[in-house]
Amino acid sequence: MNEVILCKYGEVVLKGTNRPVFESLLLKELRRRASPYGIFKIYKSQSTVFIEPQNEEADLDGMYDAAKRVFGIAGVTRAAVTGQDMERIRETARAYFPTRLAGCRTFRVDAKRADKAFPLTSPEIAAEIGGVILSCVPGIRVDLHHPEEMVRVEIREGKTYLHAGQEKGAGGMPLFTAGRGLLLLSGGIDSPVAGYMMAKRGMEIEAIHFDAFPYTSERSREKVMTLADELCAYCSRIHVHVVTVTAIQEALRKHCQEEFYTLLLRQFMMKLSEKCARQFSCHALITGESLGQVASQTIQAISVTDAATDLPVFRPCIGMDKEEIVSVARKIGTFDTSVLPYEDCCTVFTPRHPKTRPTREQIEAELEKVDAEALTEQAYSTMTTETRRIFPTYR
Ligand code: ATP
Ligand code: MG
């Protein structure tokens, strides 16, 4: 039996005259993601993307799982394909649905025919296929109002698609449709979630990580690279820049008041991130901050941090509880890596009583005590870059 994958668009359908641009980027991304799974024909028709295997070797299961992680797609389903003659449609339904609907208690059939020349009306097709299912799936019955499973019969362009069990897609907007953002990626739980959330809105994600070598180990750098790899399941490709801020931390410890350490370090992180964003044409910074989570995330602390850069700073976790952030981290598969106990540069020199209500004047006065420009330049000169990809041949 011929099987294909059908992907239903999400928000892309709301786009007006720009819609073709979004659609073409979505198709391009699906084609790039398809390459490890064999040869597929991928095209769109109305609000559906069709993914058709071109030979026996094509891995439909692998492609199906890959399609579920492509942003811009709201629903994914496998469908049996046959011609437009009613006897063949019945036969296909009889062969396909016993396994597709195994264990399902109730169903309803929804039929659509784009081709109005087809001899049966949509309700007649639905009744026919409903009858076939009742005769070949043991124990199943019809429930028009609250069916456990919607069975769909779509007749279009000379073919008939029969399917059930549509699953949710990744949602959001296609990657690469919303500019490029630089994610401040720590080894924690929140920042990978923040990156995922902005990628879901179509942003291409680039990342910057600050380490405090030799106070932080090679293993903590590897942990960040693993997080980037995990994010690649959704973001496809991430350039990860690593900057060593040890000299900044030592200067702050030597010259500044302890209660401001974290906030001062964050000033440098923002300045270094801005420099990196400008060099690599990123339009915004992204952090995993959540209001009130720690001393450096009070409204006063966030406003002094914001003042360090002219770029927009996106904080998609700002209104989320830790529990909500954790549940996204589990869903996207970063949680287990995030909780590995390796040190982060922020935890190397932690003030005992961090300031929770800093003012800009206080921060500026503290920054006067060090040569901020020279420290920034020196740290920036340590930058190294690695590119992580969903699979080695992704381009
Ligand atoms: P996370 O769980 O993401 O580590 P957190 O709750 O530990 O967040 P902070 O350590 O205050 O919070 O960091 C706030 C944000 O600043 C992080 O979400 C991240 O975006 C950025 N950040 C913190 N440390 C680093 C780092 N070492 N490298 C890059 N970005 C960092
Ligand atoms: Mg952190």
Ligand of minimum distance to the alpha carbon of 272: 1
Q: Please tell me the residue having the least CA distance from ligand 1 atom 13.
A: 289
On whether the CB atoms of residues 291 and 317 are closer than 8 A, the answer is no
- Ligand 1 neighbours, Cβ below 6 Å, are 184-186, 188-191, 209-210, 287-289, 293-294, 296, 344-346
Rounded distance between C-alpha atoms, residue 225 and residue 223, angstroms: 5
- Predicted local distance difference test score (pLDDT) of residue 358: 83
pLDDT(117) > 90: no
| 4-13, 14-23, 54-63 — most confident range | 54-63
Q: Which two tokens stand for residue 13?
A: 């359908």
Cα separation values, 251 from 63, 73, 274, 302, Å: 52, 49, 21, 23
Segment 369-389, tens digit of pLDDT? 999 999 999 999 999 999 999
List of residues 6+ apart from 45 with CB closer than 8 A? 156, 157
Helix ranges, 280-394 (H): 299-306, 322-332, 335-338, 345-348, 360-367, 372-380
On whether the CB atoms of residues 316 and 284 are closer than 8 A, the answer is no
**Among the listed ranges 124-133, 150-159, 216-225, 344-353, which one has the minimum average pLDDT value?**
344-353
**Which atom of ligand 1 lies closest to the CA of 290?**
6
> Could you tell me the pLDDT band of residue 348, with boundaries at 50, 70 and 90?
low
Residue-averaged pLDDT of the chain:
94
Q: Please tell me the residue having the least CA distance from ligand 1 atom 26.
A: 186
Rounded distance between C-alpha atoms, residue 143 and residue 147, angstroms: 5
Segment 51-77, tens digit of pLDDT? 999 999 999 999 999 999 999 999 999
pLDDT(141) > 70: yes
Going from the Cα of 367 to the center of ligand 2, the distance in angstroms, rounded, reads 22
- Predicted local distance difference test score (pLDDT) of residue 129: 97
Going from the Cα of 131 to the center of ligand 1, the distance in angstroms, rounded, reads 58
The whole-model pTM stands at: 0.94
Ligand of minimum distance to the alpha carbon of 294: 1
* Cα torsion through 364, 369, 371, 373, rounded to 10: -10
Rounded distance between C-alpha atoms, residue 320 and residue 317, angstroms: 5
Cis peptide before 147 (omega within 30 of 0): no
- Predicted local distance difference test score (pLDDT) of residue 344: 75
Going from the Cα of 346 to the center of ligand 2, the distance in angstroms, rounded, reads 7
Segment 270-324, tens digit of pLDDT? 999 999 999 999 999 999 999 988 888 889 889 999 999 999 999 999 999 999 9
DSSP state of 287: -
- Give percent of the chain with pLDDT exceeding 90: 82
Q: Name the residue with higher pLDDT: 326 or 345.
A: 326
**Which atom of ligand 1 lies closest to the CA of 187?**
4
Q: Please tell me the residue having the least CA distance from ligand 1 atom 4.
A: 188
Going from the Cα of 171 to the center of ligand 1, the distance in angstroms, rounded, reads 26
Helix and strand counts by DSSP (H, E) for the chain: 14, 15
Nearest to 266 by CA among 307, 313, 317, 305: 305
Q: Which two tokens stand for residue 257?
A: 């008041």
